[in-house]
Amino acid sequence: MELGWLVCGTAVLLLLHVLMELSPAVNFALRIGFYCVLCLVSSALAAAACLLVNGGRTVKNMRIIKAVVKTFKYFFGLRFEVKGLENFEVEGPAIIVSNHQSILDMMGLMEILPDNCVQVGKKELMYTGTVGLIIYLGGVIFINRKSTSSAKMVMAEVAKTMANENLKVWVYPEGTRNCTGDLLPFKKGAFHLAVQAQVPVIPVVYSSFTTFYNPKTKLFTSGKIKVEVLPPIETKGLTSDDVTDLTDRCFCTMRETLFRLSGRPSEAKDSS
């Protein structure tokens, strides 16, 4: 009986292995499917740990989430090469902005997440089962992207609480995932928030995933991701009139860094 199960299990694994070798689409679907299952199951376990240790929704839960997510990279053969972590060591709150390529970004986020840092996320993430629960417990700030006025109201509240709670806030200024190897134009919410709270903006850039991950061509292999935390950009004394300039400055610096990290130096020159 037990031998039967063993033979069946081995046969299924072999079949999956052959299918993955033969078809990139099957390989992609299985790896992404595994990632989703891993997120859902780990979220359920981490949620229980968060509730037991910290009792409810608090940024302290991010330490638990980070410890769990940092193990995911080994399942997918991903390596992170991080530079500039010392740039997170600003006194008090800050806004962190980074490029957003894929749902896989959570691994890169948790690889370097500083203490006391929450992310801004779309409200739809609340309805992703246990993943929604763990994101809620971690203190993620939910915004409605379809309503600028309500998103602005939430962000204005955050500007007030950041100082009291010594929070760092992580925003993806592209506002959506973008895996083209370039940046989308930046939304301005993060920069309004930084100016309202008079706190620095710390840009973080992840190199392009396109060499190992591309949903269009169903590519998903192992790979290396270079990460650079750039020096903080001060906002003391800036007003809402300076937000567009601040956004543009940050965009140019991050785009240049993205091309450099991804081995596309000539395009960095074109963009200037």
Ligand X SMILES: CCCCCCCC/C=C\CCCCCCCC(=O)OC[C@@H](O)COP(=O)(O)O
Q: Which does 128 bind (CB under 5 to 8 A by kind): ligand PKZ, ligand X, none?
A: ligand X
- The smaller minimum CB distance to ligand X, of residues 26 and 32, is found at 32
137 binds ligand PKZ (CB under 6 A): no
The percent of the chain in helix, strand and coil, each rounded to the nearest 5, is: 55, 15, 30
135 binds ligand PKZ (CB under 6 A): yes
Separation of alpha carbons 254 and 109, rounded Å: 16
- The smaller minimum CB distance to ligand PKZ, of residues 28 and 172, is found at 172
List, in order, residues 6 or more apart from 71 with CB less than 8 Å away: none
Half-sphere exposure for 162 (CA within 13 Å, toward CB): 30
Q: Which does 51 bind (CB under 5 to 8 A by kind): ligand X, ligand PKZ, none?
A: none
First vs last C-alpha separation in the chain: 68
Binding ligand PKZ (rule: CB under 6 A), the pick from 31, 35, 39, 251 is 39
Q: Which region among 13-21, 84-92, 115-123, 226-234 touches ligand PKZ (by CB under 6 A)?
A: 115-123
68 binds ligand PKZ (CB under 6 A): yes
Separation of alpha carbons 217 and 125, rounded Å: 26
Q: Which does 194 bind (CB under 5 to 8 A by kind): ligand PKZ, ligand X, none?
A: none
CA angle 104, 143, 203 (to 5 degrees): 55
Q: Can you tell me which residue has the tokens 């950009």?
A: 233
Beta bridge partners of 227: 82, 206
Q: Which region among 20-28, 65-73, 75-83, 252-260 touches ligand PKZ (by CB under 6 A)?
A: 65-73
106 binds ligand PKZ (CB under 6 A): yes
Q: Which residues bind ligand X (CB under 6 A)?
A: 36, 39-40, 100, 103, 105-106, 122, 125, 128-129, 131, 176-177
131 binds ligand PKZ (CB under 6 A): yes
Q: Which does 31 bind (CB under 5 to 8 A by kind): ligand PKZ, ligand X, none?
A: none
189 binds ligand PKZ (CB under 6 A): yes
User: Is residue 65 within 8 Å of 46, Cβ to Cβ?
Assistant: yes
Give buried/exposed letters for 78-92 (b at 16+ CB in 10 A, else e): bebeeebeebbeeee
232 binds ligand PKZ (CB under 6 A): no
199 binds ligand PKZ (CB under 6 A): no
Quote the least distance from Cβ 168 to ligand PKZ, whole Å.
13
Separation of alpha carbons 213 and 24, rounded Å: 11
